[in-house]
Structure 1
Amino acid sequence: MIAAIARAARWDYLSESPFFFSYLIYLLMTGAALLLILAFFPAYYSTLFWIRFFTLVTAEFALLLEIGDHIFRDYPAIRQLGRILTYGIGIGFSIVYIFPPLLGSHPTDVMILGLIKRSALTKGVILLCLLGAARRYKVPLDRATSGIALGLAVYLAIFTANFALTEHFGKVVYTTSFPIVGDFTQTLTVLIWTVSLWNYRPALAGPPKFRDGRPLGDLGLRLERFNTTLTGLFRR
């Protein structure tokens, strides 16, 4: 991963995905710092681990915004579609799904596990909607964007399953497996991102076409109308 970041810096690709690379650098640096803290200051490890964990969980919503911007940035008619989907789904799910269970009377650890699991499911829905919209309008994805989305999808899927199993079996039963699965998930995600970024090349903008190569004709007009409708609904 460090080599992939260095290659991106060398070829001036860091500016293509500034938040993603900042996320990676933070992930690697804080991970290394936690290992040192565990070795020399174990009393502080638990607190700092959870601070880092919740920071990463929150930052993943911003990462989804950047993915959406990358997908639709070359198409003026739907350039804001990624942000509309991310904000709309994120706010909507927060109101009706993520936060309401916190109003009940539950043990603190159960509430935290449920909150993290529901936020991960929300991110998964956002990512699926972004990719579904890209497929609907036949928007081409470059290798880097596809790899980032794939890595995040794998991470969210295993991450959600890990917390669901913890809720089902309880901390005592699952305490051994939970950190192992968590470390495996992060390792696999970083590996996917490294492979996708190794020969990173920005996608060349071009008009979408049918599968047989024919141009879509009035697609731009239809997309403009769709974007206007969505913007109007979002503002209401």
Structure 2
Amino acid sequence: MPEQCSPTPAGKHGTKTEVACEECGLFGFLRLLTVIDPQGERSEPLAGVLSRRTRIPKGETLYRHGQQLQAVYAVKSGAFKSYTLLDTGEEQVTSFHFPGELIGLDALKGNRHQYTVKALEDSSVCQLQFRELERSGVRLAEFREQMIKAMSEKIGEQSRLLLVSSRPSAEERLAAFVLNVSRRLEVRGFPSEAFRLAMSRQDIASYLGLAVETVSRMFKRFQAEGLLSVSGKQLRILNRTALQLLAKVRD
């Protein structure tokens, strides 16, 4: 029996630990779809019916490069990274995924995933399996149309991320990266001034095209200059205006 959407639980000090269903990227178009029975009658919307919550332990792979499309996922809690393997066997991180964001849209064209996706911490996802959609009477063409709309939004986000990694200096890249994460968390109803970076310094370095030593040095510099407060993976923005000026962006 598919698990229904439930109220968002709170962590310590009342901080959200997972995204609310109505703030999830999957919920926005799912509610527009309806089941069509054999007589052609429309019944209740699918929201909360085909969405199944699955727990993904830290380090476990959600899907691999080249794997056939089985489902489209929405991050319920935790965080993930997408990456490809270089000829050297090293990981090249291409993006990060936070609560409420969709994963798996890369396989809509070609029906196979272009990246490998792995959990950065203990996480959970809701998923829509295509076979279940067909069995439920959903018109797959209608579903794909909604997915294309979601994909266009994802492309817009990827374009903004590309601007982050293409900035000329290390300090600009890291400042823009922190602001980008902050904005994406805020959109889904999470704190945007103080948050946890689930990814390692190595993952950040890979994504930004920097040496891990440079990333560590920049974090220390930002902290010394009063831009950020950093304790392990916990981060707090102390001077957003200065970060924006450094990144040359309007947040």
More helix by percentage: 1
TM-score where L is the length of structure 2: 0.26
TM-score where L is the length of structure 1: 0.28
Higher relative contact order by CA 8 Å / sep ≥ 6: 1 or 2? Answer: 1
More strand by percentage: 2
